[in-house]
């Protein structure tokens, strides 16, 4: 799924995480320092693809004004999961930038990471 395609290829999470996966592949021949490897693992963590799919369905229902109260609660819960995963990912990016003695912006450029679009 994250390797490059499928139904989620254009999803912001995939756009965010794919460059990190590419960096890992390029570095597999080189041994990463343990802290870097651990931070890259944290950066790669996310929510389940099925949850992303459900989130997209619920957002579409919200736009169409057909969202039930239960679905609205579910949408909020999944949104909270996404926010928590992103907060952890950003914290790991900041730590990795500090470890490499570079700015967060420069690290994100090096990794090819673009901030996800704001909805």
pLDDT tens digits, 97-112: 999 999 999 999 998 8
Q: Is residue 1 part of a domain?
A: no
Q: Is residue 37 part of a domain?
A: yes
Q: How many domains does the structure of the chain reveal? A: 1
| Residue of 66 and 8 predicted with greater confidence | 66
Separation CA 40–CA 105 (nearest Å): 16
pLDDT tens string 47-87:
899 999 999 999 999 999 999 999 999 999 999 999 999 99
What residues contact 3, with CB distance under 8 A and at least 6 apart?
21
pLDDT tens string 23-33:
666 565 455 56
Closest by CA to 13, choosing from 119, 105, 113, is 113
φ/ψ (deg, to 5) at 75: -60, -45
Q: Is residue 117 part of a domain?
A: no
The whole domain housing 107 covers 6-111
Closest by CA to 41, choosing from 56, 27, 51, 55, is 27
Closest by CA to 20, choosing from 109, 106, 105, is 109
**In the structure, what pLDDT confidence band is assigned to residue 94 with cuts at 50, 70 and 90?**
very high
> Helix count (H) and strand count (E) of the chain?
5, 0
Separation CA 49–CA 1 (nearest Å): 9
Separation CA 105–CA 90 (nearest Å): 11
Q: Decide: helix, strand or coil at residue 78.
A: helix
Q: Is residue 75 part of a domain?
A: yes
Q: Is residue 92 part of a domain?
A: yes
């Amino acid at each position: 799924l994250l390797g490059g395609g499928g139904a989620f290829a254009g999803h912001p999470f995939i756009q965010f995480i794919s460059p990190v996966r590419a960096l890992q592949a390029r570095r597999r021949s080189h041994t990463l320092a343990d802290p870097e490897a651990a931070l890259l693992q944290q950066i790669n963590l996310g929510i389940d693809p099925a949850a992303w799919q459900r989130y997209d369905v619920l957002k579409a229902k919200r736009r169409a004004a057909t969202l039930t109260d239960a679905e609205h609660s579910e949408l909020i819960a999944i949104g909270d999961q996404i926010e928590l995963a992103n907060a952890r990912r950003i914290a790991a990016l900041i730590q990795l930038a500090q470890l490499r003695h570079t700015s967060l912006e420069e690290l994100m450029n090096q990794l090819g990471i673009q901030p996800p679009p704001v909805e």
